Chain A
Amino acid sequence: GQSLEQPSEVTAVEGAIVQINCTYQTSGFYGLSWYQQHDGGAPTFLSYNALDGLEETGRFSSFLSRSDSYGYLLLQELQMKDSASYFCAVSHNAGNMLTFGGGTRLMVKP
């Protein structure tokens, strides 16, 4: 089966940098995605890593190590609006059917 582990909660202050880790166990791994979900909202796509290394998109970066079955999402210059839940998700076949982690609730404080 598939399983993903990520911290349940992280707190940081405005302007800081925060890293949300994700470890996974899965068969037929294709890649790791990250989604953001505000309370009452729909998940929105942030990034996808299929190969080892760092992908940067503005203030957000995502890293993958396939050999370690590990990835992280890095959020820089935190803003209050970044307070949300962040989910890592594994694509475990070519059809992009996602298995999500339990989510990390990020609270950004002034």
Chain B
Amino acid sequence: ETGVTQSPTHLIKTRGQQVTLRCSSQSGHNTVSWYQQALGQGPQFIFQYYREEENGRGNFPPRFSGLQFPNYSSELNVNALELDDSALYLCASSPTSGRAGNEQYFGPGTRLTVT
């Protein structure tokens, strides 16, 4: 069973640029959530996708957008990058319908640095 994978591992971008981060969910998981984790803080929920539809969104501006594909992999896109977007971006997948309490399986994250 393959776990959650994310690419790239590290990324350096300039303010104002756009970035796309990728996530492959664990086999059999149809729900993917994205989180932003600043250094020394807890992960903050960005949004969740279930069967290719956005299923919920946290307090992030519209320049944070996403996609989920038929194979349940997912992308996070961030436009007009700001310095405060520098963080670890975590993808987590969960089985079935993302029912509350389901264990979420996190990927290793993408470390984004905006200069």
Q: List the interface of chain A (C-beta within 8 A of B).
A: 4, 30-31, 33, 41-45, 48, 50, 87, 89, 91, 93-103
Q: Are B43 and A97 in contact (CB under 8 A)?
A: no
Chain B: minimal CB distance from A5 (Å): 11
User: CA separation between A99 and B58, bound complex, in Å?
Assistant: 9
Which listed residue (B35, B58, B100) contacts A50, Cβ 8 A? B100
Q: How far is the CA of A44 from the CA of B107 in the complex (A)?
A: 10
Chain B residues, Cβ within 8 Å of A41: 108
CB of B104 within 8 A of CB of A96, answer yes
- Is A94 in contact with B45, judged by CB distance below 8 angstroms? no
Tally B residues with Cβ within 8 Å of A.
Answer: 31
The contact sample of 29 A-B pairs, CB cut-off 8 A, is: A30-B100, A30-B101, A31-B100, A33-B101, A41-B108, A42-B4, A42-B90, A43-B92, A48-B101, A87-B42, A91-B100, A93-B56, A95-B97, A96-B98, A96-B99, A96-B102, A96-B104, A97-B33, A97-B45, A97-B48, A97-B56, A98-B33, A98-B104, A100-B44, A100-B45, A101-B42, A102-B42, A103-B40, A103-B42
CA of A30 to CA of B33 in the docked complex: distance in angstroms? 17
User: How many residue pairs at the A-B interface have CB separations less than 8 Å?
Assistant: 75
User: Knowing A31-B100, A43-B106 touch, does A95 contact B56 (C-beta < 8 A)?
Assistant: yes
Interface residues of B (CB under 8 A from A): 4, 31, 33, 35, 40-45, 48, 50, 55-56, 58, 90, 92, 94, 97-109
Query: Hey, which chain A residues are within 8 Å of B102, CB to CB?
Result: 96
Does A42 lie within 8 Å of B100, measured CB to CB?
Answer: no
Contact of B101 among A87, A96, A100 (CB under 8 A): A96
